Amino acid sequence: MRILQLTSDWKWTGPAAPMLELLLAQRARGHGVELACPAPPPGEEISLWRAARAAGAEPVLEVSRARGVIWWRDTPDVERLRALLEAGDYDVIHAWHTRDHVLAVRAAAERRRGGRTRVARTHPGASKLPRWPWARWLFGPATDALFCVSPGTARANARARRGRPIAGAFGAVDLARFAPRPPDAALRGALGLVPEDRVVGIVARVQPRRRFDLLLAAMARLVRIEPRARLLVVGRGTRFDETVREPALRMGLADRVVFAGYRSDDYADVLRSSDIFTLLVPGSDGTCRALLEAAACGIPAVTTRRGAFPEIVAHGETGLVVEEEPEALARAWRALLADEGRRAALGAAARQRAEALFSPGRLAEQVEQLYREAGAGWRASAGVRKRGSPWS
């Protein structure tokens, strides 16, 4: 099968990593898969383009860096994309954002060769599809296959698809990189942690909407009864000081919160410095990648009921799902920090669940099945694909 993964976002954030994981897994299954994306602005060291090249997935088309949908402005991108679809004879073009979704729909519609490229889209959030008329058309008749970030999200949006192919599965994580290992003592020391510390870790872009106020309020309660409790914050944000650093100082938590910043090469080891993991609000990546990575590392999680969290974390089996209240979070953290045996059991179950549900190969298989459903439905109605095609 010939597949083009398309995104209009140059940043190495949000859905970028899941998309690249899927691309590589699809290649491992024998498909011809390529990438089209924008190049980063000058001077930017971290980007999807560079990550893809490092992984051996050199982009085949540079899409312009732009936001929103402006029909006349986007026409040159559409024309170059259509030419690529024709030259490469792609079976599927898979989009990840609204702008590239529209580019894909336009380019596939204008393709002039005898074949037809299906348009697939990943819906990045665990929410219902937008209901205004233009969105109903875009996510409905204009899209051959819709993939959601969890099975529950797919069920919630099935009615909006009106019988068209839709599926949902959890995101993917590199199970080898995020294998369970003992914490790196030297790294923990460099972070200012000592062996006696009990660490609650969070990996998130530091933004007010990610409920750092709730996080700090819960930590303030926890340290009253667990003096060795520490909060490890991995991430960055443009409003970092006002969102987390200054409130931590005001609340007397300056020596209880460790700011690890943005990490790359040693990220997995930093993550393994946590005894338990927590997330309160999903970010732009509805697959909740950091939560999947923590599970793969064998770290039990405490989350709220937002987004796909209750589907990813099996309550009482791989972690705890609690109400969005400081007392509830603090109680859950304390229950796990105080019971090493329970933490170990939940962590082992989290790793087992990751191996069963969060592998790139499993995700690629499920997406492939959705592609085939979209292709088979079109072949039955149009009857132009020949025997022996990738869709037969």
Distance, CA of 242 to CA of 45 (rounded, Å):
26
Q: 143 with 245, same domain?
A: no
Residue with the two structure tokens 């679809």: 85
Q: 216 with 292, same domain?
A: yes
| Domain that includes residue 247, residue range | 185-357
Q: Is the pLDDT of residue 377 over 80?
A: no
- The string of pLDDT tens digits covering residues 264-275 is 889 999 999 999
323, part of any domain: yes
Q: Is the pLDDT of residue 172 over 60?
A: yes
Q: 255 with 161, same domain?
A: no
**CATH of residue 312:** 3.40.50.2000
Q: 250 with 375, same domain?
A: no
389, part of any domain: no
Q: 42 with 161, same domain?
A: yes
Q: 233 with 84, same domain?
A: no
Q: Is the pLDDT of residue 384 over 60?
A: no
Q: 290 with 146, same domain?
A: no
Residue with the two structure tokens 């599926």: 167
Nearest by Cα to 91 from 110, 113, 119, 63: 119
Nearest by Cα to 153 from 263, 271, 310: 310
Distance, CA of 76 to CA of 173 (rounded, Å):
35
310, part of any domain: yes
- Measured CA to CA in angstroms, residue 179 lies from 312, 344, 350 at distances of 18, 14, 11
- The string of pLDDT tens digits covering residues 334-361 is 999 999 999 999 999 999 999 999 999 9
Predicted pLDDT of residue 273: 95
- The string of pLDDT tens digits covering residues 24-72 is 999 999 999 999 999 999 988 889 999 999 999 999 999 999 989 999 9
Number of domains in the chain: 2
Q: 260 with 374, same domain?
A: no
391, part of any domain: no
Residue 210 DSSP class: G
390, part of any domain: no
270, part of any domain: yes
Alpha-helix residue ranges (DSSP H) falling in the chain = 16-28, 48-54, 71-88, 98-110, 133-139, 151-161, 185-190, 212-225, 240, 246-250, 267-271, 289-296, 309-312, 326-337, 340-357, 360-382
Distance, CA of 184 to CA of 342 (rounded, Å):
22
